Structures are given as structure tokens and as C-alpha cells.
Amino acid sequence: MKNHCMFFLVSLLIVLNVVHADEILWSYDLTELPYMWTKANCTFSSSGARINILSLGWPKYGRSADGWLLTEFVVGSSDFDSLVIHTSQYISLYAGSGTAYAVLELQINGVPVNLWERSSSGPTFIDSLPIHEVMTGISNGDLLRFRFYAYAFAGYNQIAEVDWRLWDVSLTAYGALSLEQSTWAGIKAVMGCQFL
């Protein structure tokens, strides 16, 4: 047993300098509104969430429409060095002579930062690639939340539309735990090994 533990420790030191850990903070299929989330102009079905907005440029010019899905708060921690938000999505944007766009926004202590954006100010634009955004530089105690936001503004006698479908969204925290390199006792404590 002593030799196996020693071999394992030496192998570990050669191969690894850092042990990486990850924790799924939340994961939802978006078939219903998650607890503590809010929404506007967003519906849910067995295939996920749908933000569908339409702006009409008649009888009055200048009508806009918007919709969103806003997550619960997450508190930044020194236990992780990065966050990853991932979701499957399909978006169709049409703007005529106006504008239509969709944004995934990170709010850090109330200050918005755009992580992902798609827009159109003309013909139809379609995107179905998953959203996968990595965030670093999050400080301990930061108050974080995410907003999926869609906006449409139609030009005169035009229409503008956003049809955004979202499903299987997750937020994962990644962290690094440095091994104690100065003492064998620290390494043995992490591995649970005892030498006689």
C-alpha cells in the first residue's frame, strides 16, 4: 500500500500542478420559468423558452417592442476563476428599414456587459449556433445575473421581428486549487495517504 501511494503521489506531481474543479451553479431546460427568474414577452413550452416580439411601423411610426428573460442572482466567489454560460438557441431577426437585435448580457453589480449579440437592420438573419461564453475576472462578492434581451423597432410602414428560442441553459463555475508544493504533508493530506 505504501508503494502504491508513493507511486501515485509522484505521478501526480509530474502530471499535475493544479487540480481543476467545476461546479454547475444552475441548469434548466427552460420548459418553464425557473424559480427566481423574471420574464417579459417570453413563453415556455416543451421545447424551451421563446421570446417573440413584433414591431409594426403603422399606423404610427416609431413603435418598438422588447422582451427578456432575467436569471436569479449569483454571488462571485474566490473559489472559482471563471464562469461559463452555455445555451442552445435559434434566432431569426427581420427588420425591414428598422432594427432588430438580441443580446446576452451579464450584469455585474448592476452594470451591464454584452457577452453575445446578433442584429439585423434589413433582411432576415438566422443563427442557430449555441451560445458559449466564458467570463473571467469575477471578484469575490460580485453580484451577477444574466439577461437574454430582444428588441425590435420598425421603420415607417415596415415590420421588425425577433423570434428567439432558448433551451438547455447552464452556468458552470470553474476553479483551481493549487497543490501545496512545499510540503509532502500537504500533498498527503489532500490525497488521504498515510506513510508508516
pLDDT value of residue 96: 80
Which of 13-40 are b and which e, b meaning 16 or more Cβ less than 10 Å from the residue's Cβ? eeeeeeeeeeeebbebbbeeebeebebe
Among the listed residues 92, 87, 119, the one whose alpha carbon sits nearest the alpha carbon of residue 103: 119
Cell of 157: 410602414
H helix runs in the chain, sequence order:
2-15, 184-191
Where are the domains positioned within the chain? 1-17+179-196, 22-176
Instruction: Determine which of 3-7, 72-76, 131-135 has the lowest per-residue pLDDT on average.
Output: 3-7
Residue-wise pLDDT tens digits, 36-72: 999 999 999 999 999 999 998 887 666 789 999 999 9
CATH code for residues 22-176? 2.60.120
